[in-house]
């Protein structure tokens, strides 16, 4: 491929996007996907770091060898004194692209539809891969001008909520000062970027409650302890957390999504089981929910003479967009003639949040996660979800622009 030839790059990226779309793989099974990403990056002369990852990989584009020199720093700051900001020039930042698909049977009418039965790139991660590769190629082409290092994290198993932890088992993030992420957005047209400072995705926790009573004849409930009645009261009680325990200005929710008990109409069973999820934006609320769910389940069960066991499984925390980084996203969009809109916050989660989580990272890693309009259509995870291929090159250019600006930015790195 001829460096600088955008038309050729666009066709190359579209061809490869179609390949990824045709070859979707489930979380932790992204073997072919990883091999293809490695092949494309290697072809472009981009270094892939030798981590022992079963799936997913980390690549790196290193800025020009004199990236730390005052010449480049001055160039980057357009004449501002290099003094005091020289240290910034050598920083390392990272872009995360998730690569897994979903167990969805494709219904999209595209000529490059999934070739794997019952598996589909219904969340646009094929677009994330391709735009990530596009951005890497663009930065590699002008790496001499780049004042720092960019790592490209092609992460497995986002849909399982814990793929980020596989990357974090390596030392890939040790020198990373900022983490960038993005997602396909089928609620916006191509050329529109959703940006917001603050919380954009929720913490995802899961609970399982087992209510143990005593089975008996349906006609003689007085002979036993009915776990179904206790469970019904627990479901009602759990909904009081959002309305009575949490600050009304803090978004949160609890959903009981599965409840099971009994085998027939005239027997009161000995046990009932329910499962659900809690979504919060704020760390304190998350702790509060776990405490209240346990108290409500255990004490209501007790009041009915039953016993409740609560199993709490913590998922990724909430994603918080750093203000300074969100501004870089805004400015880059403006420079490229793209339109920006306030990013929709979601009670959905993304394990992107682990990369910026203090409890996981043991330090502050500011992050920013934007939504890239991929053409208005079916929502993500829908069997007919589809990405407008026109977005692939502009998204690559945009991401390369954001990363370049971030490396040159001396500003706000704190909040
Ligand atoms: Ni996704």
**What is the Å distance from ligand 1's center to 230 Cα?**
37
- Residues in Cβ contact with 167 at an 8 Å cutoff, skipping those fewer than 6 apart: 53, 56, 58, 153, 155, 173
Strands 367-373 and 176-185, by their bridges, are: parallel
pLDDT at 70 exceeding the cut of 70: no
> Which pLDDT does position 115 carry in this prediction?
96
Count the neighbouring beta carbons within 10 Å of the beta carbon of residue 41.
Answer: 23
User: Distance between CA atoms of 199 and 404, rounded to whole angstroms?
Assistant: 24
Separation CA 202–CA 278 (nearest Å): 9
**pLDDT at position 82:** 35
Average pLDDT over residues 228-244: 98
pLDDT exceeds 50 at position 87: no
User: For residue 368, what pLDDT is reported?
Assistant: 98
DSSP 241: I
Distances (CA, A) of 341 to 250, 326, 350, 373: 22, 12, 20, 10
Packing angle between helix 392-408 and helix 125-141, nearest 10 degrees? 50
The number of C-alpha atoms within 13 Å of 151 and in the hemisphere containing its C-beta is: 22
pLDDT of 80 above 60: no
Count how many Cα atoms sit within 13 Å of the Cα of residue 49 in the half-sphere of its side chain: 19
* pLDDT higher than threshold 60 for residue 105: yes
Task: Give 125 Cα–ligand 1 centroid separation in angstroms.
Answer: 6
- Residue 90's pLDDT is 82
Task: Give 318-346 pLDDT, tens digit per residue.
Answer: 999 999 999 999 999 999 999 999 999 99
The per-residue pLDDT for 72 is 42
* pLDDT of 67: 41
Phi, psi (deg, nearest 5) at residue 62:
-100, 135
Those residues whose C-beta lies under 8 Å from the C-beta of residue 346, and which sit 6 or more positions away, are 200, 201, 202
Strand partners, 212: 271, 307
64 falls in which pLDDT band (50, 70, 90)? confident
pLDDT tens-digit series, residues 342-399: 999 999 999 999 999 999 999 999 999 999 999 999 999 999 999 999 999 999 999 9
Query: What is the 26 CA–ligand 1 centroid distance (Å)?
Result: 12
Contacts of 218 (CB under 8 A, 6+ apart): 265, 266, 267, 268
Phi/psi of residue 296, nearest 5 degrees: -65, -45
Residue 133 CA to ligand 1 centre (angstroms):
17
pLDDT band at residue 83 using 50, 70 and 90 as cut-offs: very low
Q: State the Cα–Cα distance between residues 272 and 226, nearest whole angstrom.
A: 9
Tell me if residue 324 falls in helix, strand or coil: helix
Residues with CB under 5 A from ligand 1 (ion): 123
Structure tokens at 360: 């996981």
Q: What is the pLDDT of residues 182-233, one digit of tens each?
A: 999 999 999 999 999 999 999 999 999 999 999 999 999 999 999 999 999 9
Q: How close is the Cα of 363 to the center of ligand 1, in Å?
A: 26
Instruction: Give the per-residue pLDDT at 230.
Output: 98
| pLDDT grade for 411, boundaries at 50, 70 and 90 | very low
Among 13, 245, 249, which residue's Cα sits nearest to residue 128?
13
Distance 123 CA to ligand 1 centre (A): 5
- The reported pLDDT for the residue numbered 150 is 98
Q: Maximum CA pair distance of the chain?
A: 88
Task: Report d(CA 201, CA 344) in Å as an integer.
Answer: 9
In this prediction, residue 76 carries a pLDDT of 42
Are 151 and 47 within 8 A, CB to CB? no
* Percent of the chain with pLDDT strictly greater than 70: 93
Say how many Å lie between the CA of residue 46 and the centre of ligand 1: 25
Q: How confident is the model at residue 283 (pLDDT cuts 50, 70, 90)?
A: very high
Confidence (pLDDT) at 74: 39
**pLDDT at 78 > cutoff 90:** no
Cα–Cα nearest to 373, from 406, 346, 333, 404: 333
- Please provide the distance, in angstroms rounded to a whole number, between the alpha carbons at the two ends of the chain: 41
Among the listed residues 245, 186, 131, 238, the one whose alpha carbon sits nearest the alpha carbon of residue 373: 186
Region of poorest pLDDT, from 37-46, 69-78, 398-407: 69-78
pLDDT tens digit sequence for 250-275: 999 999 999 999 999 999 999 999 99
**Ligand 1: centre distance to CA 153 (Å):** 15
When the pLDDT of each residue in the chain is averaged and rounded to a whole number, the result is 92
Give me the pLDDT at residue 209, please. 98
CA 208 – CA 210 distance, rounded (Å):
7
CA of 124 to the centre of ligand 1 (A): 6
Percent of the chain scoring above 90 in pLDDT? 89
Q: Which residues contact 190 (CB under 8 A, 6 or more apart)?
A: 373, 374, 375, 388, 390, 391, 394
**Distance (Å) from CA 122 to ligand 1 centroid:** 8
Q: Average pLDDT in the 160-168 region?
A: 95
389's tokens: 């291929």
* This prediction's pTM: 0.87
- Residues 151 and 180 sit within 8 Å (Cβ to Cβ): no
Buried b (16+ CB within 10 A) or exposed e, 381-403: ebeebbbbbebbbbbbbbbbbbb
Structure tokens given for 156: 């497995």
Burial (CB count within 10 angstroms: exposed 0-12, middle 13-18, buried 19+), residue 211? buried
> How far is the C-alpha of 208 from the C-alpha of 312, rounded, in Å?
7
CA gap 201, 54 in Å, rounded = 27
| pLDDT exceeds 50 at position 412 | no
pLDDT higher than threshold 80 for residue 69:
no
3-state secondary structure 393-409: HHHHHHHHHHHHHHHHC
């Amino acid at each position: 491929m001829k460096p600088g030839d955008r038309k050729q790059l666009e066709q190359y990226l579209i061809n490869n996007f179609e390949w990824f779309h045709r070859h979707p793989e489930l979380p932790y099974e992204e073997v072919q996907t990883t091999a293809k990403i490695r092949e494309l990056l290697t072809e472009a002369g981009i270094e892939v770091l030798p981590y022992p990852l079963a799936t997913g990989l980390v690549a790196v584009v290193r800025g020009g060898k004199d990236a730390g020199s005052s010449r480049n720093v001055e160039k980057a700051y357009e004449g501002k004194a290099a003094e005091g900001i020289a240290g910034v020039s050598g920083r390392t930042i990272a872009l995360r692209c998730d690569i897994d698909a979903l167990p969805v049977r494709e219904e999209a009418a595209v000529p490059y539809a999934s070739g794997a039965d019952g598996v589909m790139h219904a969340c646009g991660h094929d677009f994330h891969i391709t735009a990530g590769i596009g951005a890497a190629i663009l930065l590699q082409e002008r790496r001499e001008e780049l004042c720092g290092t960019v790592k490209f994290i092609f992460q497995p198993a986002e849909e399982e909520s814990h793929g980020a932890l596989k990357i974090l088992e390596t030392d890939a993030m040790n020198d990373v000062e900022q983490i960038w992420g993005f997602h396909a957005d089928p609620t916006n047209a191509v050329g529109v970027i959703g940006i917001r400072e603050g919380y954009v995705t929720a913490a995802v926790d899961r609970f399982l409650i087992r209510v143990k009573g005593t089975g008996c004849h349906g006609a003689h409930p007085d002979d036993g302890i009915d776990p179904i009645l206790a469970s019904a009261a627990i479901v009602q009680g759990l909904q009081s957390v959002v309305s009575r325990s949490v600050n009304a200005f803090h978004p949160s929710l609890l959903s009981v999504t599965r409840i099971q008990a009994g085998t027939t109409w005239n027997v009161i069973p000995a046990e009932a089981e329910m499962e659900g999820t809690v979504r919060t934006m704020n760390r304190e609320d998350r702790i509060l929910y776990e405490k209240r769910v346990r108290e409500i389940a255990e004490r209501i069960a007790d009041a009915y003479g039953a016993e409740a066991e609560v199993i709490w499984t913590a998922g990724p925390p909430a994603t918080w967009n750093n203000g300074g980084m969100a501004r870089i996203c805004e400015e880059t969009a403006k420079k490229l003639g793209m339109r920006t809109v306030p990013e929709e916050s979601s009670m959905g989660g993304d394990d992107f949040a682990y990369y910026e989580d203090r409890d996981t990272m043991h330090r502050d890693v500011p992050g920013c996660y934007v939504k890239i309009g991929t053409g208005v259509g079916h929502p993500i995870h829908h069997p007919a979800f589809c990405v407008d291929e026109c977005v692939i090159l502009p998204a690559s250019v945009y991401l390369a622009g954001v990363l370049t600006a971030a490396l040159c930015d001396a500003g706000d790195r704190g909040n």
